[in-house]
Amino acid sequence: MTCVQCTSRVVLDKDEGVIEIFDEGFAADPWPVLAELRDDGGVHRVRTPDGPGAWLVTRYHDVRAGLLDTRLTTDIRRAAGKDYRGFGVPPAFEALQAVDADDHARLRGFVAAEMSARRLAEWDDLAPSLIQDHVGRIPPGPLDVVADVALPLPAAVLGELLGLPASVRAALLSWAESTLAPDAAPRARDTLAAMHAVVTATVEGARGADTVLGRLVEHRRTGLLTADELSGLLFYLLFVWYEVLVDLLAGSVLTLLAHVGPRRTSRSGPGSATVDELLRLLSPQVLAGPRFARVDLDIGGHVVRTGETVLLCLAAANHDPAVFDEPDAMRQARNPNPHLGLGHGAVSCLGNALVHKVTAAFLAAWFGRFPATALTADPAEIRWRSGFRHRGPLTVPVKAA
């Protein structure tokens, strides 16, 4: 395998035939490298930041097909050999990682029931009111959208949606500040003890309550969920959405200020189409969760052996010029916009509708209160979290006015 067009940031390990792209600059500007990989065949062996290799798929049609391909599974028990296996979690959190397709669908069903149209309709008024109240308490002047807004807001939103007791909301926010803040040292995987404490406190505080969490705990009491399955679902609900929301909220403000401007944003009133375009353009979820080949299969002309790991690059697919005109441009009214920002198919993000509602409500509240918001730093100098499966700005300094 060769990569003759690649920049100096792409290094080919000739001994192992593995490309290294996930350096410190990748999160801030992954687009040139991903474009080169799409142009140079679209499917490559890459080294992950943790060391093990995997197949990286970058062309839209291959990525979309992979998300729908039942020969690829998220069941980590199908992994074989030395390939990357993903974010290793304790058995108590593996409910959606170490199960077959039928059990995976069963477990998703419990969450999907809570994300039904009827349940989400209750949020049509509640979410904007909650977010308006949160934004309304932010004083004008210099601030950092990440630290002052994007980090605390999901704790309030998830706390209200799920029915978290005040003490658990505080613990969840403390986890976020220790993990996702600009000066935070550990990665999420290094804070598993704190995550476990939050999940345990959540179960204890939710018993008997008529909330999302209370209903899930009741399923455990009646035997519909095991203790580990309940813990795994709570791990997903509390922590996976949190990181996506932080990155999307902060990245959206940065992008709209840099590409559209506050006045035009205020007048247009960010809606669902804007959120879709931000999900496409920003791609805060860079990669779908790892897939493992159930059988030998061909992807883009490459033979992927049984048990090998496939990383479907949502970010690369979302910037594929074969599907999107001017893929690097922000076009609020882009139509059609078949982006893969939160995945696609049977194992796509269960919180898709919620993420849309929260983001749209937040942007409307923010630019409604601060229509003259101005960036106080050059967008090109904004630092991004050094990421690989997720990406988001570490700081977004603004003058809120």
pLDDT at 14: 44
**pTM for this one?**
0.90
In order of start, what are the domains of the chain with their CATH numbers?
11-400 (1.10.630.10)
- Which tokens is 108 given? 């998703």
pLDDT at 4: 37
Q: Could you tell me which of 378, 312, 345, 381 has the C-alpha nearest to residue 43?
A: 312
- Which tokens is 45 given? 């062996």
Contact 312, 57 (CB under 8 A): yes
pLDDT at 185: 58
- Which tokens is 68 given? 């729908």
Q: Could you tell me which of 316, 364, 292 has the C-alpha nearest to residue 76?
A: 292
pLDDT at 378: 95
pLDDT at 56: 98
| Cis upstream peptide for 336 (omega within 30°) | yes
Per-residue pLDDT of the chain (401 residues), as tens digits, is 344 334 445 665 544 578 999 987 898 999 999 999 999 999 999 999 989 999 999 999 999 999 999 999 999 999 998 999 987 777 777 777 777 888 888 988 888 787 766 666 777 777 888 899 999 999 999 999 999 999 999 998 888 877 788 888 899 899 888 888 777 755 656 677 888 888 888 887 766 667 788 888 889 989 999 988 888 888 888 887 788 999 999 999 999 999 887 666 655 566 789 999 999 999 999 999 999 999 999 999 999 999 999 999 999 999 999 999 999 999 998 999 999 999 988 767 766 778 888 999 999 999 999 999 999 999 999 999 876 889 999 999 999 99
Give the distance, in angstroms, between the CA of residue 53 and the centroid of all CA atoms in the same chain: 22
- Sign, CA torsion 232/112/353/278: positive
pLDDT at 2: 40
Distance CA 354, CA 51 (A): 34
Give the distance, in angstroms, between the CA of residue 276 and the centroid of all CA atoms in the same chain: 14
